[in-house]
Structure 1
Amino acid sequence: MADSSKRAEETAIHMPAPPESKSKKHATYTSITKATDPPHVRRGWGRGVAIFDFILRICALVAALAAATTMGTTDQTLPFFTQFLQFQAQYNDFPTFTFFVVANAIAAGYLVLSMPFSIVGIVRPHARGVKLLLIIFDTLLVTFTTSAASAAAAIVYLAHNGNSNSNWLAVCQQFNNFCQRVSGAVVASFIASVIFIFLVLLSAVALSRS
């Protein structure tokens, strides 16, 4: 009897312990990752991003308003021999400049309307719906303001340098004040476009971290 029990022990096959499944390893790794990033740290980071988003929107609002008002109030009158015969340049003489004013005015209005949503992002840093809504409209405004600023920049370039092939004269030699103001408006509009790009990138990072 003792010999048979010894033989049974000798012939017993020792099976190795089954390895941990990938799902368990993944769960362990996820729990370790979450442990290294406490909830209050993630919440503080999200609130900081939301505050920076709000500040950028104020800067973009100032730039868009400056572009629209500067272009919309630009005109210059030049006397020619007598005061009864004058040359006048206004922004609405160029359809491109009219589109520029409308585009930047719309951008400024959108920024005013988006600020309450940005404040919601500060109060609730992990509200993904608000960030997704803002990133969609911010992307639309990037293309809108960039197209308006680029079109106006082409007209300003022609006004400064002309085009000898098309016999277009450089009118800025006469309308110097007019050209300076519209050039400043175009620069302000490009600044607003760059800020919109930063807003899109910031919202994308906040969405990936929330």
Structure 2
Amino acid sequence: MGTTYQILPFFTQHFQFEAQHDDFPALLFLVIADAIAAGYLAFSFLFSIFTIIRHNVVGVKLLLPILDTLMVALTATVAGFAAAIVYLAHDASSSANWVAICEQFDDFCKQTSGAAVAGFVVALLFMLMVVMSALCIRRN
């Protein structure tokens, strides 16, 4: 999503229409939230190794599923925001006087659609992490 950018080719150099992810606050929020989720994954990996080495640390074992659940909420929310914006970009809303920008910015819309789908995949993977964490805590 962070690299989505398209300029319409039929205008002069001084007068061009362009579309990028930071033109839409929901898409910018997706980029920021995914960066937070990626940083959390590095943090979670380090703490997971710590809990493997030190079996008797209960607080961290309980903290990770709670934070995993927060990441599920964050990634699912921003994926929903992105999906809503992509839907509006494709189909528009005549009652709100919004035009379908995907008629002109086809590459931009393909990239944002892929990023919205990837956002839902990330949310599903975080849900899997929550289930796995709960099973590991239950086993111990």
TM-score of the two chains, using structure 1 as the length reference: 0.62
Change (3 A) 1:126 1:199: farther
1:92 aligns with 2:22: yes
1:142 and 2:62 correspond: no
8 A Cα contact 1:80 1:87, kept in partner: no
State the superposition RMSD in angstroms: 1.7
| Per-residue deviation, residues 97-156 of structure 1 (Å, max 9, x unmatched) | 111111110110111111111223444567533321110111111111111111111000
Whether 1:202 aligns to 2:132 is: yes
Alignment CA distance shift 1:190-1:125 (3 Å): farther
Q: 1:128 to 1:162 in 2, by over 3 A?
A: same
Structure 2: how far apart are the matches of 1:131 and 1:190? 26
2:106 counterpart letter in structure 1: N
1 CA distance for matches of 2:10 and 2:24? Answer: 22
TM-score for both structures, normalised by structure 2: 0.90
| Aligned match of 1:151 | 81
Contact 1:128-1:207 at 8 Å conserved across structures: no
Q: Distance in 2 between matches of 1:151 and 1:123?
A: 39
Which letter maps to 1:179? C
Q: Which moves more between the two structures, 162-171 or 188-197?
A: 162-171
Query: 3-state DSSP class of the match of 1:76?
Result: strand
Runs ≥4 in structure 1, deviation > 4 angstroms?
A: 124-127
1:176 aligns with 2:106: yes
Alpha carbons 2:86, 2:113 under 8 Å: kept: yes
Per-residue CA deviations over 1:150-191 (Å, capped at 9, x if unaligned) read: 111100001011122223221111101101111111112211
**Aligned match of 1:115:** 45
Q: Residues of 1 paired with 2:123 and 2:56: CA distance?
A: 26
Percentage of identical aligned residues: 54
**Which residue type is aligned with residue 59 of structure 2?**
G
- SS at structure 1 position matched to 2:14: strand
